[in-house]
Amino acid sequence: MPAEQGPEPGQAPEAGDGGSGPLAGVRLADLWTWPNLFTFLRLLCIPLFLWLLFGRENRAAAAWLLGGLGATDWVDGWLARRFDQATELGALFDPTVDRLLFLVAVPAILIDGSIPLIVAVLALSREVLVAVAALALGAIGIAPFPVTWEGKTGTFLLMFAVPLFLGAESTLSYAPALIWLAWLFVVPGLGYSWYSALFQYLPAARAGLADRDAAASATS
């Protein structure tokens, strides 16, 4: 799930070898790193999650897998620091996979009927808003910027709340307790997520646009 480690739309990019933009100058060696390989394994778990949920109709296994993917979101960052393999590609790849996981898991669990509609709508609309903003700003040359503590915290809480809702509708013996935990995580998770989007990322995006316009005016 969304994980909000890594970049969000914001400030002007630096030029790289062979072009401009956040991926300019990416080398082939940047692809084959331990953190990127781990992120790729997490990406491969998305169809496995869908198969468990709809193919096997095993909510418990799907919930455990989804919870495990959320709980291991920190591993790729640790690998990057441990082996000194932090790359621009990895900084984009990890949050992209997190967001894709979130955008697949929440609708799937909504179709399954295991998550309240209001929770799914609030969580998905925020992710779509941020994703569209990132694409729009990137298209006009404004590069990503790091997420805030509130954004990371909101995503962390939601990454546990979503599988908890699914587990609460499973055959697990402790399923009745999971619904209480789900609400305990999801309420502050949505609060932090929307606060970061409206009061941190939106002003930062406006500042990035203002800086770009100012730079354009200075050179004209």
Per-residue pLDDT for 10 more than 50?
no
- According to the model, what pLDDT value does residue 209 have? 86
Q: Which of 24-28, 115-119, 138-142, 144-148 has the highest mean pLDDT?
A: 115-119
Lowest pLDDT segment from 18-22, 81-85, 189-193: 18-22
Largest distance between two CA atoms of the chain? 68
- According to the model, what pLDDT value does residue 163 have? 97
- According to the model, what pLDDT value does residue 26 have? 55
Rounded to 10°, the helix 117-139/202-219 angle is 10
Please give the residue that has the higher pLDDT: either 133 or 186.
186
- According to the model, what pLDDT value does residue 83 have? 81
Q: For residue 110, give every residue at least 6 positions away whose Cβ sits within 8 Å of its Cβ, in sequence order, or none.
A: 117, 120
- According to the model, what pLDDT value does residue 13 have? 42
- According to the model, what pLDDT value does residue 170 have? 96
pLDDT digits (tens, 9 = 90+) for 198-217: 999 888 888 888 878 777 77
**Mean of the pLDDT values across residues 85-104?**
82
Q: What mean pLDDT is reported for the chain? A: 84
**DSSP type of residue 55:** I
All domains of the chain in start order, with CATH: 7-12+31-219 (1.20.120)
**Mean of the pLDDT values across residues 148-176?**
94
Q: Which residues pair with 8 in a beta bridge?
A: 145
Q: What is the pTM of this model?
A: 0.80
- According to the model, what pLDDT value does residue 65 have? 97
Nearest CA-CA partner of 92 in 129, 135, 49, 148: 135
Helices (H), the chain: 34-50, 59-71, 75-82, 88-112, 117-139, 149-168, 175-196, 202-219
Per-residue pLDDT for 158 more than 80?
yes
3-state secondary structure (DSSP) of residue 6: coil
**Mean of the pLDDT values across residues 48-53?**
97
Contact 91, 26 (CB under 8 A): no
Contact 104, 42 (CB under 8 A): no
Confidence of residue 184 (pLDDT cuts 50, 70, 90): very high
Among residues of the chain, what percentage have pLDDT more than 70? 84
Q: For residue 18, give every residue at least 6 positions away whose Cβ sits within 8 Å of its Cβ, in sequence order, or none.
A: 24, 25
